[in-house]
Amino acid sequence: SNNLDIASIRNDFPILNEIVNGKQLVYFDNAATTQKPRLVLDALSGYYEHYNANIHRGIHHLAEKATSAFEQSRRRLQAFLNAPLPEEIIFTYGTTDGINLVASSYGRTFLKAGDEVIISTMEHHSNIVPWQMLCEEKGCILKIIPINDEGELLMDEYEKLLTERTKFVSVVHVSNSLGTINPVKEIIAKAHAVGAKVLLDGAQASSHLHLDVQDLDCDFYSLSLHKIYGPTGMGILYGKKELLDAMPPYRGGGEMIKEVTFEKTTYNELPYKFEAGTPNIADVVAAKYALDYVDTLGKENIAAHEHKLLEYATEAVKDIEGLRIIGQAKEKVSVLSFVIDGIHHQDMGVLLDQQGIAVRTGHHCTQPLMRRFNITGTTRASFAVYNTTEEIDLLIQGLHKVKRMLG
Ligand code: PMP
């Protein structure tokens, strides 16, 4: 159905050769973090071996080389999101950090007592807690978009929540626990109609979907590179320039200033205003290679392969008695979350690991969502470009084995 050579792609990921409990690793925890292709690993060691230096201030050769690679990555991410300007790309430590930046800087400056913030039932804790902290501090009200049993947002209910008091809407683009792709363009348009700003949590969407912040017209977009075959501990926040310009700095320190005196400090321009201290240079530099890798394969090809895996797995688990899929949205990415009658997800995780199969178990940092489904957690298999139907067969065999052991 597509032109990817999966066997050759697997060769790009050295970690897939690991032996776990005597078995070749089957890695189905891609929604937590994806593995890294060789060229990303080489970019990391290449940076440290050949041009490690602090950026922006140095005039020596290495500093110039590091600065240039760092800023090239910014432009690469600008292109990845189709952002209008490079200074609208702020380097962060990841999705969580970007959301905290917006809740702290924008939220504390522009929201006041009685204002309303809307999130949804399926948010990751990182898109709940920063808003709760803000609401507590400022006296704002947090409202929650409910979902149906398939794990889709109830858009009628969302519309009812929107009023002239709504100042901010922050929702997940793609759910990490359910795989649901949310109708974010519609969510954004409706929020803008009442004058609210919108942030999208793009942690899961960014590896699966084509992104275009201008087409979406979102005000902020936060993502983590470690979910897109890139390094851990770095991500970006996209924000519209006029909003970022109006926002105060989030952290104080070096890099983010124009001039410091003990009486008064003036701040640097975008994007440096939000990048205090020495950034995660190596990982920023390597991020570009991860995106180049994704582009070489083609995001549509990756998505088509993942979709095939999801369909295959969804069909295959139907044979397992007592298994219920959590998250059956019409529009979803390659995340298969499920519960099995009488088997605790934690036991499932341990027994699959004994067979070399890595899945995620638990609440996936979405406790309110688990409560909505009256469960404490799920077993989640999430697929990436290097996964195969043969690996899914191993998972199905593994599930049968666990059922026999515990049944
Ligand atoms: N939101 C979603 C939907 C996620 O899946 C994750 C990562 N599990 C995050 C936010 C947080 O990302 P990070 O830990 O990289 O900040």
Can you name the CATH fold of 41-295?
Aspartate Aminotransferase; domain 2 (3.40.640)
DSSP conformational letter for 29: B
Choosing from 135, 140, 218, 365, the catalytic residue is 365
For residue 373, CA distances in Å to 106, 125, 142, 274, 339 come to 33, 17, 21, 39, 11
Q: In angstroms, rounded to a whole number, what is the distance separating the alpha carbons of residues 274 and 30?
A: 30
Which of 91, 175, 184, 204 has most ligand 1 atoms within 8 Å of CB, for mutation? 204
- Length of the chain equals 407
Which residue reads 């969580």 in tokens? 96
C-alpha to C-alpha distance for 247 and 242, rounded to whole angstroms = 9
ipTM score: 0.99
C-alpha radius of gyration, the chain, whole number: 22
Distance 175 CA to ligand 1 centre (A): 10
What is the average per-residue pLDDT within 288-302?
97
Do the beta carbons of residue 351 and residue 401 sit within 8 Å?
yes
C-alpha separations of 208 from 34, 229, 295, 349, 386 in Å: 12, 11, 12, 25, 13
Q: Are 188 and 163 in contact (CB under 8 A)?
A: no
Q: Is 63 exposed, middle or buried (0-12, 13-18, 19+ CB in 10 A)?
A: middle
Residue in 34, 126, 184, 367 to alter for ligand 1 test, most ligand atoms within 8 A of Cβ: 126
d(C-alpha 149, C-alpha 362), whole Å:
19
Q: What number is the average pLDDT over the span 41-56?
A: 97
- Ligand 1 center to residue 59 CA distance, Å? 37
Residue nearest to atom 6 of ligand 1 (CA): 203
CATH domain 6-30+298-406 topology: Aspartate Aminotransferase, domain 1 (3.90.1150)
Indicate if the pLDDT at residue 58 is higher than 90: no
Active site residue 218: no
Domain boundaries, the chain: 6-30+298-406, 41-295
Residue 181 reports pLDDT greater than 50: yes
Distance CA 286, CA 201 (A): 22
φ and ψ at 115, to 5 degrees? -70, 155
State how far Cα 105 lies from the chain centre. 21
**Tell me: the pLDDT tens digits for 346-378?**
999 999 999 999 999 999 999 999 999 999 999
Q: Mean pLDDT across the stretch 212-232?
A: 98
CA of 185 to the centre of ligand 1 (A): 21
Q: Which atom of ligand 1 is nearest to the CA of 93?
A: 16
Of all residues in the chain, the percent with pLDDT exceeding 90 is 98
Q: How far apart are CA 392 and CA 189, in angstroms?
A: 39
Which residues line ligand 1 at a C-beta cut-off of 6 Å?
Answer: 94-96, 124, 126-127, 172, 176, 201, 203-204, 224, 365
Please report which residue ranges of 194-298 form alpha helices under DSSP H. 205-208, 213-216, 241-246, 281-297
Output the pLDDT for position 3: 82
Tokens of 322: 């007592």
Could you tell me the distance, in angstroms and rounded to a whole number, from the CA of residue 227 to the centre of ligand 1?
9
Rounded Cα gap, residues 407 and 403, in angstroms: 5
Average pLDDT of the chain, as a whole number: 97
Residues 138-156: what's their mean pLDDT?
98
3-state secondary structure of 93: coil
Beta-bridged to residue 265, according to DSSP, are 260
Q: Please state the rounded mean pLDDT for residues 98-116.
A: 98
The answer to pTM > 0.90 is yes
pLDDT, one tens digit per residue, over 254-264 is 989 999 999 99
CB 143 within 8 A of CB 153: no
